[in-house]
Chains A and B, each alone.
Chain A
Amino acid sequence: MSGYLESQLIILCLNVIYAYGIFLPAASGQLNLGAAGFITIGAYASAYFNMSGAPMYLAIPASMLFCAAIAFVIAFPILRTRGVYMVLATFAFAEVVAGLIINLEFLGAAAGYPVESHADFLVVVPVTILVVLLCFFLMSTRLGLAMRSIHDDEAVATLFGVDVRLAKVAAFTIGAALMSLGGALYGHHYNYIETQSFNVLLSIYILLYVLLGGTQTAWGPLIGAAFFTIVPETLRQIAASSGQEWIADTRFIFFGAIIVLMMVFRPEGLITRTLIDRVAMPFAGGRGGPGGRSGPAPTAKIA
Chain B
Amino acid sequence: MADNVLSIEGLHKSFGGLKVIDDVGFDVRRGSRTALIGPNGAGKTTVFNLLTGVYPVDAGTMVLDGRDITRVPARDRVIFGMSRSFQNIRLMPHLSTVENVMLGQHARARRLGDLLYPLGLVPGNRWARAAKEALEDAGLDTYPGQVVANLPYGVQKRIEVVRAMVSQPRLLLLDEPAAGLNQIEAQQLLALLEKVSDSGVTLLVVEHDMHFVHNLCDHVAVLNFGRKIFEGTPAQVNEDPQVREAYLGSDTAMAGAAHAS
Chain B, 65-108, CB within 8 A of any chain A CB:
74-79, 83-84, 86, 89-96, 98-99, 102-104, 106-107
| A151 contacts chain B at the CB level, 8 A cutoff | yes
Complex CA–CA separation, A287 to B98 (angstroms): 14
Q: Which of A137, A142, A287, A295 contacts B114 (CB 8 A)?
A: A142
B92 closest partner in A (C-beta): A152
A165 closest partner in B (C-beta): B75
Q: Let me know if B106 and A142 touch, CB within 8 A.
A: yes
- Size range of the interface on B? 35 or more
With known contacts A145-B102, A158-B74, A159-B75, A297–B153 Cβ distance under 8 A = yes
Q: Let me know if A156 and B90 touch, CB within 8 A.
A: yes
| A80 contacts chain B at the CB level, 8 A cutoff | no
With known contacts A140-B118, A140-B121, A284-B96, A159–B147 Cβ distance under 8 A = no
| B154 contacts chain A at the CB level, 8 A cutoff | yes
| A95 contacts chain B at the CB level, 8 A cutoff | no
Chain A, 256-303, CB within 8 A of any chain B CB:
273-274, 277, 281-287, 289-290, 292, 294-302
Q: Let me know if A294 and B145 touch, CB within 8 A.
A: no
Q: Let me know if B120 and A149 touch, CB within 8 A.
A: no
Q: Let me know if A141 and B115 touch, CB within 8 A.
A: yes
Residues of A within 8 A of B156 (CB): 297
Which of A152, A161, A290 has the largest number of chain B CB atoms within 10 A?
Answer: A161
Chain A, 149-184, CB within 8 A of any chain B CB:
149, 151-153, 155-164
Complex CA–CA separation, A137 to B119 (angstroms): 9
With known contacts A140-B119, A160-B78, A151–B185 Cβ distance under 8 A = no
Q: Let me know if B117 and A302 touch, CB within 8 A.
A: no
Which of A139, A142, A143, A296 has the largest number of chain B CB atoms within 10 A?
Answer: A142
With known contacts A161-B75, A294-B93, A283–B123 Cβ distance under 8 A = yes
A216 closest partner in B (C-beta): B94
| A211 contacts chain B at the CB level, 8 A cutoff | no
Q: Let me know if A296 and B75 touch, CB within 8 A.
A: no
How near does chain A come to B34, taking the closest CB pair, in angstroms?
A: 20
Complex CA–CA separation, A278 to B24 (angstroms): 51
| B260 contacts chain A at the CB level, 8 A cutoff | no
Residues of A within 8 A of B155 (CB): 302
Q: Which of A151, A160, A164 contacts B103 (CB 8 A)?
A: A160
Q: Let me know if A289 and B115 touch, CB within 8 A.
A: no
B182 closest partner in A (C-beta): A301
Q: Let me know if A145 and B99 touch, CB within 8 A.
A: yes
With known contacts A140-B120, A283-B123, A302-B154, A297–B93 Cβ distance under 8 A = yes
| B184 contacts chain A at the CB level, 8 A cutoff | yes
- Other A-B contacts than A137-B121, A164-B75, A286-B146, 11 sampled, CB-CB below 8 A, are A140-B121, A148-B94, A149-B95, A152-B95, A156-B92, A161-B78, A161-B79, A161-B107, A161-B167, A274-B150, A285-B132
Residues of A within 8 A of B (CB): 137, 139-146, 148-149, 151-153, 155-164, 216, 273-274, 277, 281-287, 289-290, 292, 294-302
Task: Pick 30 A–B contacts, CB within 8 A, sort by A.
Answer: A140-B121, A142-B115, A142-B116, A142-B119, A143-B116, A145-B95, A145-B106, A145-B119, A148-B92, A148-B94, A156-B86, A156-B90, A159-B54, A159-B77, A159-B78, A160-B78, A162-B103, A273-B96, A274-B150, A277-B145, A282-B123, A284-B98, A286-B145, A289-B145, A289-B146, A296-B93, A297-B91, A297-B149, A300-B152, A302-B184
Residues of B within 8 A of A (CB): 52-54, 74-79, 83-84, 86, 89-96, 98-99, 102-104, 106-107, 109-110, 114-121, 123, 127, 132, 144-156, 163, 167, 182, 184-185
